[in-house]
Structure 1
Amino acid sequence: MGNIKHLTSRSRLWKDIEHTLISQNDVGPKISLKCQLHNRITHVDSCKDFDHLEQGGCRRKCMKELDCGHVCPQQCHGRDIGHIAEYFCREKCERYPCRAHPKVRCTSLCSMECARCEASIDHKLTCGHLAKCYMFTLDEDRIGSLKDDSHCEEVVDMKLNCNHNKILKCYLKFDSLEKKCHECTNKTKKHVRFTKNTRL
């Protein structure tokens, strides 16, 4: 790990440091590292030993309880012990955020903002699909008025004019750009490249 004899042979300062280290019993074949979270001592005597401590803690799981009530399942880490910047909860959210549908659970991760409510409403849109809760305004705990009847995000399998099929969101089937066929476009590009190469 280090060569105190080599250092002291080249520097008077290191001789003084060696004297101090020896008096404190801090010179030996191993380094003792103490985990700040678990108070566990880990002894290392080669560079390879650090491969098991790459997060800066010990070899245990962190298991610190987070503000949300879940525990951190990552390997013990010396950075961000407060779990604010780098280490955050990746468990599934257990909240039920929609007041109109109190039994519908959030589909986001615990540390993220709650996802919009995807519960179906007994109301057909102009496209024929059932509306979703997030499409409506919320009047206290009840569904209010429909925001937009045309913005349906159901995934549909649409047959294009060229007879190819394309998977896209329902409201995009009226978009001329989205209705372009990628298969036909790619074939055209390949044909153009082939024609240029054969002419050369």
Structure 2
Amino acid sequence: CVALSRARKGLYIIGNMNALENGCEIWKLVKKKLEDHKSIGSQVELKCAIHKNSTFVSEKIHFLAVPEGGCSIACDTLLNCGHKCSKLCHSYDLQHESYMCGETCTKTCSEGHPC
């Protein structure tokens, strides 16, 4: 019940609501409030902040479709090294400052030296 008092911007409850309400009186009230607001269901919509498409999850295996937290579209951002990001869409490190490209660098400096 601590999560209910600490939530500031929102809270998703994933689990068996019937089991929760049988274990504690507060969960009966929570369930009723959620039902009144039509905020209870069997799946959660994950919306990609970049591509705006949705992935609906109702089982843990569904999260595998969006392992980086975005969607299942390839990132393909052009990196400073000249290669493209090989990850799936991700909503973190959008500037790719922490991303380490694993490809062999083919660039040369102004003196003609390789990377």
Cα displacement string for residues 11-69 of structure 1 (whole angstroms, at most 9, x for unaligned residues): 23223322333244331121111122222210012121122222222111122344566
| Structure whose alpha-carbon radius of gyration is higher | 1
Q: How many Å separate the matches in 2 of 1:24 and 1:93?
A: 55
Equivalent position of 1:96 in the other structure: 108
**Whole-angstrom CA distance in 2 between matches of 1:26 and 1:63:** 36
* Higher relative contact order (Cα pairs below 8 Å, separated by 6+ residues): 2
- 2:67 is matched by which residue type in structure 1? E
What amino acid is aligned across from residue 34 of structure 2 in structure 1? L
Aligned CA-pair RMSD: 2.8
Displacement of 1:92 in angstroms is 4.6
Q: Which residue of 1 is the match for residue 35 of structure 2?
A: 22
- Letter of the aligned partner of 1:96 in structure 2? T
Q: Which position in structure 1 is the counterpart of 2:93?
A: 80
State how far apart, in whole Å, the 1-side matches of 2:78 and 2:31 are: 42
- Following the alignment from structure 1 to structure 2, what is the Cα–Cα distance between the partners of residues 23 and 65? 47
User: Could you tell me which amino acid in structure 2 is paired with residue 83 of structure 1?
Assistant: H
The Cα of 1:9 is off from its aligned counterpart by 2.0
Are the counterparts in 1 of residues 81 and 105 from structure 2 also a CA contact under 8 Å? no
- Please give the alpha-carbon distance, in whole angstroms, between the structure 2 residues aligned to 1:63 and 1:42: 20
1:37 to 1:66, Cα distance in 2 relative to 1, 3 A: farther
Instruction: Determine if the alignment matches structure 1 residue 50 to structure 2 residue 58.
Output: no
TM-aligned CA distance change 1:61 to 1:20, over 3 Å? farther
Instruction: For 1:22 and 1:64, locate their aligned partners in 2 and report how far apart those are by CA, in whole Å.
Output: 42
The verdict on how the C-alpha distance between 1:12 and 1:83 changes in structure 2, with shifts beyond 3 A counting, is: farther
Paired residues of 2:81 and 2:107 also in contact (CA < 8 A): no
Identity of aligned residues (%): 30
Change (3 A) 1:27 1:48: same
Aligned length: 102
Structure 1 segment 147-166 matched on structure 2, within 5 A: none
Aligned AA (1:51): L
DSSP-derived class of the 2:23 partner: coil
TM-score, normalised by the number of residues in structure 2 = 0.64
Structure 1 length as normaliser, TM-score? 0.41
Quick one: which amino acid aligns to residue 95 of structure 1?
Answer: K
Give the SS at the match of 1:9.
helix
